[in-house]
């Protein structure tokens, strides 16, 4: 990661948060969410209450200017995330591609287990139905 995308620590009411800022990770997350929700800069600006130029700045990694935590919270909220979501991405980059892939794999594995369980239930129901049908025809 180049030094342009890393900045000084984030400051909150309780002081500095340890670690470096990753503005590119914030930009990537915002851009992906906007694309997934099919909303543009103007709509996000209107919904979040920030200017279009600020939305654009965040989308491009906030090069050259510091975006306030309150602004990130407003954008996160407008995108349907918890208010601190973008701040967490900024300081920890917890949405890296590797972790997203791992989460996707876990979700797919869980869905596979659910599908298998549903198949088992369907087979058992079919067997019960067959027995019930056979029992009623023998009477």
Query: With 50 as the cut, is the pLDDT of residue 65 above it?
Result: yes
**Six token digits for residue 37:** 């929700």
- Residues 1-12: what's their mean pLDDT? 46
DSSP structural state of residue 31: H
Average pLDDT over residues 58-75: 87
DSSP reduced 3-state for 42: helix
Residue-wise DSSP of 63-116: TTSPPPHHHHHHHHHHTTS-TTHHHHHHHH-TT-HHHHHHHHHHHHHHHHHHHH
Q: Which residue has the higher pLDDT, 67 or 46?
A: 46
């Amino acid at each position: 990661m180049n030094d342009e995308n890393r900045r000084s620590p984030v400051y909150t009411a309780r002081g500095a948060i340890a670690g470096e800022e990753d503005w590119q990770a914030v930009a990537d997350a915002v851009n992906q969410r906007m694309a997934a929700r099919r909303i543009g800069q103007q709509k996000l600006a209107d919904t979040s209450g920030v200017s279009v130029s600020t939305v654009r700045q965040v989308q491009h990694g906030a090069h050259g200017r510091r975006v306030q935590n309150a602004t990130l919270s407003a954008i996160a909220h407008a995108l349907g995330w918890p208010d601190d979501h973008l701040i967490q991405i900024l300081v920890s980059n917890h949405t890296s591609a590797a972790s997203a892939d791992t989460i996707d794999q876990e979700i797919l594995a869980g869905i596979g287990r659910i599908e298998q369980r549903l198949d088992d239930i369907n087979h058992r129901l079919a067997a019960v139905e067959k027995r019930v049908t056979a029992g009623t025809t023998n009477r």
